[in-house]
Structure 1
Amino acid sequence: MPLQIYDVIVVGSGNAGFCAAVSAKENGASKVLLLEKAPESWAGGNTTFTAGAYRTVFHGLQDVLPLVQNVTPEMADRIDMDPYTEQDFMSDLRRVTNNRGHPQLASALVKESNSTTKWLAQNGVKFQLSFNRQAYQIAGRQKFWGGLVLSVVDGGKGLTQQHQANAARKGVEVRYDSPVVSILSNDADEVTGVTVRHKSGMKFDVLTRGGVILCAGGFEANASMRTQYLGLGWDLAYVRGTPYNSGDCLRMAMNDLNANPAGDWSGCHSTCWDANAPTDSGDQKLTNQFTKSGYPLGLMFNVDGLRFVDEGVDMRNYTYAKFGREILRQPEGVAFQVWDADGASWLRSEEYADNVVEKIQAETIEELGEKLRRKGLNDSTMFVKSLREYNKAVAAHRKENPDIVFDPSKKDGLSTRSSCKGLQLDKTNWALPITKPPFLAVKVTCGITFTFGGLKTDHETSAVISDSAGKPIPGLYAAGEMVGGLFYGNYPGGSGLTSGAVFGRKAGRAAAERAAVLSKRKATVPTI
């Protein structure tokens, strides 16, 4: 096979990878190659399995209206949407990560989120206001909450398709079924290319002038690495997305190039996931619909009939990525979400429709307990007792606080606390009574989305930092899930896709500029 040389090589076909490739083209790279380990039918990596939400700074409704395609002037008059400032975004990042995130990475993410979202729209990403996920209709008005308002038309699947179309327009060469098996470097420790294994089994080298950008995801689909880094029991977590994110490029970068590992290697994004979902990969048809994020409107019980989290401690955007871990910690790693008729009326159909989830319904709490026993509940007596104690605590709070009104668009203060002291584990917001039949329950488990441990990168160029030298490895960049140090223990919903776009864009620009500089120096074929 003749020697192949590209200005920039990108590894991974998710949101970060396509952003990096297109950015490289826009910044002068004439030949850009994107390599994907998976077959084309699995294009997009974990991006395909997201809801397509982007968290971004915006200055009010008028700032986002030009980006979206699902709002008429009449609808706009009925929308309540507070601005989401840089201070708001930074505050959320610091709060949910216990202020552990790298401050310069966080600052870059926040400050460039607005311009990057608009750049995506210019590159064919079709945004819409996320009425179905981020707004409640209250008193005839659409009330947005949680600082997250934008999502992509047709969700993650639509986002992948729009990225693919844009890459084709920009002239990015994309090859599927092309896993990278090694990263090449020369005697000066400069990255010079990659070795690719063709589906025929043949291996060949592809060289680069500007650099290699790693956007190949974390190790969430690798059961042994999950156990090694996240801890015992994590091999049993359900994989929400692609089965191809097995940590290969992370290990190559650290073991072969001495890249500096960074971030929360014992942490991950994990959520409440349908217990009847596939175990080792996401479903390509239902994708994100296996998420079960309606718990703030109800309760969660383990198999011993006990609650184990405060379901109302915060808005769903700031708890759903960590509650999967709490479920995995429970006996047998499963739980039951429970509502009455009023609470169930607020559930989103995309997650809780009859054709999406197995519903367990009953006319009494006792009957529900017996039906749950057949689904794995060990102690139906304790379940009934716990639920009745909860209802008594709710009633006591309501009696002492008759003026507090239920409002799912904010932390409304409806709780189980009163002069009667409340519960051992209180629910601090949206504490609706569970008294009106029919009662509904669904069985959930832990679904892992992506891992937080990654590579240390430069916040301006997304260049990967050497563990020994403490400076960038020439020609090596990373974006997306491979960036370590941004998220710790938790993350604000929607910030993952934004991070991939912000740092993918930076990496593409930096690699293209490096290719141009080396070309001016009359650099020819890199020495391996």
Structure 2
Amino acid sequence: MSAKVIQDYDVVVVGGGNAGLVAALSAAETPGTKIAVLEAAPKEERGGNSRFAGAIFRVVHNGSSDIFPLVHETMAKDKDRVTIGPYTREMYARDMLKTSKGYCDKEKMEVMFDHSLEVVQWMHSKGVKWQLTLSKFYDETKIHGDGEKINMHAGGCLMAKHEGVGLTDDIWAAVEEKSDSITPFYGHPVVDLLATGDTVHGVRVRLRDTFLDFKGQVILACGGFEASPRLRRQFLGEGWDLVIVRGTRFNTGRMMEKAIAAGAGDTGHFGGCHATPQDIQAPKVGDLRVTDKMSRYSYPYSVMVNLDGHRFMDEGENQFGLTYAKTGGAIGRQPGATAYQIFDQKTLHLLEPRYSTATPIIADTMEELADKIGVAKMEFLNTIRTFNDATQPGEFNPFKLDGLNTGDKLAMPKSNWAIPLDKAPFVAYGVTCGITFTYAGLKTDDEARVLNNEGLVMSNLYAVGEISGGFFAFNYPGGAGLTKGAVFGKIAGKAAAEAAKSDQTVVIRNN
């Protein structure tokens, strides 16, 4: 089939999620810029992984004085129910370095810190509506005392109203208001780069009966390879080809592979990914009817066991926002990629509202519960008994690291929120592994420009969001991914528009 070359654009954005749309809106701020947004999905499925996200943005801030002005008027009541302290650069860096075990690009990390608050304020000006995360993670009717305020964890306090659906609806609305400069193309999967050596001229789109070529500065914002069973098995290992895909079915890694084949450098933790506990009955691929409602993140208040009846991780290692992205992988490594979160009546009120989409398994005794969930009975009963015996007296506080732990009594300790499971009836929820996004991808500089294998800039090519690698490894601080995508999307959009207008391209840069 021959390619039909259509009119040139100044900027061609590949992907219609958070990072890509922010890039398009940023490019549109340069007067006269013509931008194409190429979305592989049909219009009804637009939005990429962002549409399935909980839509938390982790930003550097000084506390409520920075956060409260962003909260939409319809959610203003939440401001009276919480206190929010500052989340400093130092705190953010500590969380990034701990979760990645130091395997993160520290220069780009600093760029994100510099612009994180600014970018959510800018998105607010574009029509994105924000709220506090209080109602997402707790049933407010069950946790509030008279006049009691909750001290929210400062790193995960801000989210888009109506989560990923609200986020992408708001950004797409802003894009559609810019119809004089931004043109979306749905059902236009990009399949290749158009390049001469290290100079990129545009991209090729595959349609049902032809190819179309789009010319211009190219911003790749088309996600990682999490929706490709082949690449998951190749890079992540045995069993990963069978896991649940939480997000869009269109993030197949095609353009990561094409860019690498064209000479782009690759970087990051190819064996790592963001993977979380999902309901055992969750859809096999992201379903817009449920978005992220099948997530099961209240495990810090549980004892979690596998089918052999054994605990396999420290459920209370840290706040769930700093552990949930590795917990899915831990579950995936268990027999049958299955685990059960066990609660008693002392902690049921702490379950996220999302648990209402699950079918709980309830029993009056642990013996009965073991039979109902189908785990190895004697091992399970021994696990619960030894755990209960290892717990220590102290004040249980679900809203901070309370230090209630099992000490050195267990081979697998629980570091916080370790209280005995002894108040019947007991409740179990079955969970499995769901992959969200992959950590490795294209090598970029701190201006989001793609670098070749020799560390030099590939002219006219940028990569933002999940396709850009080297930022996360092993684990992940919740909300940092969308922030990273927006920060570098805004940077790339501005740079691409200015480059297109000046017709000047940097050909060589040492990295």
Does TM, scored on the shorter chain, surpass 0.5?
yes
Post-superposition Cα deviations, 1:418-473, rounded to whole Å, max 9, x if no partner, equal xxx421211110012211111110111110000000111111x20000113x2110
2:509 corresponding residue in structure 1:
none
Kept in 2: contact 1:134–1:145 (CA 8 A): no
Q: C-alpha displacement at 1:146, in angstroms? A: 5.2
Asked whether 1:348 is paired with 2:333, we answer: no
Identity %: 40
2:274 corresponding residue in structure 1:
269
| Structure 2: runs of 5+ lacking an equivalent | 506-511
Kept in 2: contact 1:240–1:448 (CA 8 A): yes
Amino acid at match of 1:491: Y
User: CA separation in 2, counterparts of 1:361 and 1:367?
Assistant: 9
Aligned-partner SS, 1:288: coil
1:525 corresponding residue in structure 2:
none
- Change in CA separation of 1:71 and 1:426 when aligned onto 2, cut-off 3 Å: farther
- Change in CA separation of 1:189 and 1:423 when aligned onto 2, cut-off 3 Å: closer
Asked whether 1:233 is paired with 2:220, we answer: no
- Change in CA separation of 1:22 and 1:360 when aligned onto 2, cut-off 3 Å: same
1:463 corresponding residue in structure 2:
449
Aligned-partner SS, 1:6: coil
Task: Give the TM-score taking structure 2 as reference length.
Answer: 0.94
Match of 1:414 among 390, 397, 404: 404
User: CA separation in 1, counterparts of 2:120 and 2:79?
Assistant: 20
User: CA separation in 2, counterparts of 1:457 and 1:121?
Assistant: 27
Amino acid at match of 1:145: H
User: CA separation in 2, counterparts of 1:228 and 1:427?
Assistant: 34
User: CA separation in 1, counterparts of 2:176 and 2:195?
Assistant: 29
1:324 corresponding residue in structure 2:
328
Amino acid at match of 2:16: S
User: CA separation in 2, counterparts of 1:234 and 1:219?
Assistant: 12
Amino acid at match of 1:508: G
Asked whether 1:201 is paired with 2:209, we answer: yes
Amino acid at match of 1:386: T
Kept in 1: contact 2:302–2:343 (CA 8 A): yes
- Change in CA separation of 1:260 and 1:146 when aligned onto 2, cut-off 3 Å: same
User: CA separation in 2, counterparts of 1:74 and 1:325?
Assistant: 37
User: CA separation in 2, counterparts of 1:244 and 1:72?
Assistant: 33
Aligned-partner SS, 1:475: strand
Amino acid at match of 2:453: D
Q: C-alpha displacement at 1:392, in angstroms? A: 1.4
Residues 61-80 of structure 1: pairs in structure 2 closer than 5 A: 61-69=64-72, 76-80=79-83
Q: C-alpha displacement at 1:142, in angstroms? A: 2.2
Kept in 2: contact 1:298–1:432 (CA 8 A): no
Match of 2:377 among 351, 374, 380: 380
1:401 corresponding residue in structure 2:
none
User: CA separation in 2, counterparts of 1:70 and 1:300?
Assistant: 39
Kept in 1: contact 2:303–2:315 (CA 8 A): yes
User: CA separation in 2, counterparts of 1:54 and 1:107?
Assistant: 16
Kept in 2: contact 1:35–1:179 (CA 8 A): yes
Q: C-alpha displacement at 1:64, in angstroms? A: 1.1
Match of 1:250 among 256, 266, 291: 256
Post-superposition Cα deviations, 1:324-374, rounded to whole Å, max 9, x if no partner, equal 11111111111111100111111012x211xx112111111111011011x
Aligned-partner SS, 2:458: strand
Residues 62-461 of structure 1: pairs in structure 2 closer than 5 A: 62-69=65-72, 76-133=79-136, 137=143, 139=145, 140-145=148-153, 147-171=155-179, 172-186=182-196, 189-198=198-207, 200-208=208-216, 211-255=217-261, 257-279=262-284, 281-349=285-353, 351-353=354-356, 356-373=357-374, 377=375, 379-394=376-391, 397-398=392-393, 404-417=394-407, 421-459=408-446, 461=447
Structure 1 runs (4+) deviating above 6 angstroms are 71-74
Match of 1:32 among 32, 35, 39: 35
| Structure 1: runs of 5+ lacking an equivalent | 399-403, 521-528
Kept in 2: contact 1:302–1:335 (CA 8 A): yes
User: CA separation in 1, counterparts of 2:151 and 2:136?
Assistant: 11
Kept in 2: contact 1:318–1:492 (CA 8 A): yes
2:476 corresponding residue in structure 1:
491
User: CA separation in 2, counterparts of 1:174 and 1:241?
Assistant: 21
2:461 corresponding residue in structure 1:
476
Q: C-alpha displacement at 1:299, in angstroms? A: 1.2
2:489 corresponding residue in structure 1:
504
Post-superposition Cα deviations, 1:4-56, rounded to whole Å, max 9, x if no partner, equal 10000000011001001111111335210000111112111100110111000
Post-superposition Cα deviations, 1:144-183, rounded to whole Å, max 9, x if no partner, equal 0152111111110111111110001122111110011111
Kept in 2: contact 1:271–1:325 (CA 8 A): yes
Q: C-alpha displacement at 1:284, in angstroms? A: 0.9
Amino acid at match of 2:203: V
User: CA separation in 2, counterparts of 1:337 and 1:70?
Assistant: 36
User: CA separation in 2, counterparts of 1:185 and 1:75?
Assistant: 51
Kept in 1: contact 2:51–2:167 (CA 8 A): yes
Kept in 1: contact 2:265–2:452 (CA 8 A): yes
User: CA separation in 2, counterparts of 1:308 and 1:157?
Assistant: 34
Kept in 1: contact 2:300–2:320 (CA 8 A): yes
Aligned residues: 495
Amino acid at match of 1:54: F
Aligned-partner SS, 2:327: helix
2:508 corresponding residue in structure 1:
none
User: CA separation in 2, counterparts of 1:101 and 1:81?
Assistant: 27
User: CA separation in 2, counterparts of 1:322 and 1:448?
Assistant: 10
Aligned-partner SS, 1:272: strand
Kept in 1: contact 2:198–2:263 (CA 8 A): no
